[in-house]
Amino acid sequence: MNGTIPQCKSSLKSIMTIKKNVATVSIILLITMMMAGLAELCAYVFTAKAQLEASSTPKDLPSLDPEQLEFFTEYQGTANIPYKSHVGWQSKEFHGRYINITGKGLRATGSPVKSNTAHTIHFFGGSTMWGYGVRDDGAIPSLFTKRTGLNSINYAELAWTNRQSLNRLVSNLSEIQKGDSVVFYDGYNDAVYGCYPGMVGAHAREQQINDALSVTSYTPYGRHSLLFGLTAFVRETSIYALYEQIKSRRVHQPDSHSDCTNHVTAEAVSDFIINNWRAAEQLVKSRGANFYCILQPSSFFTERLNPKTTLHDIESITEVYPYIIRAGSNLSCFVDLSRLKIPKEHYFDIQAHLTREGNEIIAGTLAKTIE
C-alpha cells in the first residue's frame, strides 16, 4: 500500500508536467498565430497601398476625368484574365457600360453607319490598341471605323507583344479574306518587356507563369498531397504576395537600368520584333490581304517625359526604337509613328496609353495610311 503512494505522486507529477507543457505550447501557438495574423494584415495593407500607388496618375500628367474613373471601376471586373493556349492570356466575355468583350475575347467595335466596302480591317496590338482607359467607342479600331466607314475587328489584348499577336493571327487566319487589311500596332510592350534581364522575346507574364509552375518541384506526390495543399494555401496569403512583389521589383525594377543599354541586347529585341512582322506579312499576303506593321508612338520618344520611376522603360524605348526604325525601313509593311506628335494632355499615363482624343489622332493617321 505504501509503495503505491510514491507511484501515484509520480504519475500526478507527470500529468501536471504534461498539462503545463500543453499550456505552454498552446500559448506559443496562440502568440505565433497572432503574430502571423498581424504580419498578414501588414502585408495586405502594404501590397494594397503599393497597387494603389502603381495605378495612380503621375502628377506631371492630366488627372483622370469622371468617365475614365468610371472606366477603371468597371475595368476591375475584367482584370482577372484567364490563361489561353498559344497566346498566354485572353480576355473573357464581359458586358458593361464602357467595356464589352465577346465570347471570342474581342473588344467591341462599332459597326459603320454605312460600310464603304465589304473588306475588313483586322487590328492587333497591346493595351493601347485594345483601348485601355477608354470606352469601346473610344478605342482606335472603333474610331477608325467611324472615320472611314470600314468594318474593324479589335484582336488586341492587354500587355501583348507582337509575337502573341502573331500567334493569334495564325489561329484566326481563316477569317482574313482577300482585300482585307491587317494592322500590327507594336513597339512599347515588345521593348519594355524584352529589355529585362534574360527576357528577349518574352511576354509580360513569363516570370509569373514560371513561378506558378514551380510549385510542382515541391509536390512529388501530386496535387492531392498535403505539401501541395500547404503550398497552395501559402501562395494565397498577402505575405506571399508581398514576397512576390519584392521579388518582382528585384527582377523588374522600373527604376533600374534597362538591359538594352547594351546595344547587342537592344538589337536582339529589335530583331525579334522585325522577324515577327516578316512572318505575319507572309501569312497575311498568302490570304491576298494587305499588311501594315506600325511602330507606335510613346511619350518617352516624343515628349521625353522622365519620371525617375520609369527609368527602365525610358531606356528600353529610346535604345530599341532606333534599331526598329533602321531595320523596319527595309520592310514594305513598315509605318513609323514613333515621332508622331501627340499633345502631352492626350497621354493619361506616362507610358503609351492615350485618351480618346489621342486615339483620334492615331485613327486619323491610320485612315490616311490603310487601303
**CB environment 326-351: b (16+ within 10 A), e (fewer):** ebbeeeebbbbbbeeebeeebbbbbb
Residue 151 has pLDDT above 80, yes or no: yes
- Residue scoring higher pLDDT (37 or 220): 37
pLDDT category of residue 56 using cuts at 50, 70 and 90? very low
Query: According to the model, what pLDDT value does residue 240 have?
Result: 63
pLDDT category of residue 251 using cuts at 50, 70 and 90? very low
Residue holding cell 546595344?
263
**312/348 Cα distance (integer angstroms):** 19
Query: According to the model, what pLDDT value does residue 57 have?
Result: 47
Which residues are registered as beta bridge partners of 295?
Answer: 186, 336
Provide, rounded to the nearest whole percent, the portion of the chain with pLDDT above 70: 74
- Residue scoring higher pLDDT (14 or 152): 152
Query: According to the model, what pLDDT value does residue 148 have?
Result: 94
Q: Which residues lie below 8 Å from residue 173, measured CB to CB, with a gap of 6+?
A: 283, 287
Helix intervals (H) in the chain: 4-54, 66-75, 127-130, 140-148, 162-171, 188-194, 206-213, 226-235, 238-251, 263-286, 311-328, 356-369
**53/61 Cα distance (integer angstroms):** 15
Across the range 17-31, mean pLDDT stands at 78
**244/238 Cα distance (integer angstroms):** 10
List the single range of 121-130, 163-172, 210-219, 282-291 with lowest mean pLDDT.
210-219
Query: According to the model, what pLDDT value does residue 70 have?
Result: 84
List the single range of 168-182, 285-299, 304-318, 344-358 with lowest mean pLDDT.
304-318
Strands 334-336 and 290-295: parallel
CB 236 within 8 A of CB 249: no
Entry pTM: 0.78
**306/283 Cα distance (integer angstroms):** 39
Residue 145 has pLDDT above 50, yes or no: yes
Query: According to the model, what pLDDT value does residue 79 have?
Result: 72
170: cell is: 495564325
pLDDT category of residue 48 using cuts at 50, 70 and 90? low
pLDDT category of residue 36 using cuts at 50, 70 and 90? confident
Coil vs helix vs strand at 256: coil
pLDDT category of residue 250 using cuts at 50, 70 and 90? very low
- Of 297, 300, 293, 208, which Cα lies nearest the Cα of 258? 300
Q: pLDDT tens across 327-359, in order?
A: 999 999 999 999 998 998 898 776 789 999 999
- Averaged pLDDT score across all residues of the chain: 83
- Choose the CATH number for 66-196+253-369 among 3.40.50.920, 1.20.1250.20, 2.40.50.140, 3.40.50.1110: 3.40.50.1110
Residue 289 has pLDDT above 50, yes or no: yes
Residue 136 has pLDDT above 60, yes or no: yes
**Cα 278 to chain centroid, rounded:** 24
Query: According to the model, what pLDDT value does residue 281 have?
Result: 99
**48/262 Cα distance (integer angstroms):** 35
CB 350 within 8 A of CB 61: yes
Residue 114 has pLDDT above 80, yes or no: no
Query: According to the model, what pLDDT value does residue 58 have?
Result: 47
DSSP label of 225: S
Provide, rounded to the nearest whole percent, the portion of the chain with pLDDT above 90: 53
Query: According to the model, what pLDDT value does residue 98 have?
Result: 94
- Residue scoring higher pLDDT (364 or 68): 364
Across the range 360-369, mean pLDDT stands at 97
pLDDT category of residue 17 using cuts at 50, 70 and 90? confident
- Of 212, 182, 180, 172, which Cα lies nearest the Cα of 122? 182
Query: According to the model, what pLDDT value does residue 52 have?
Result: 45
Query: According to the model, what pLDDT value does residue 263 have?
Result: 97
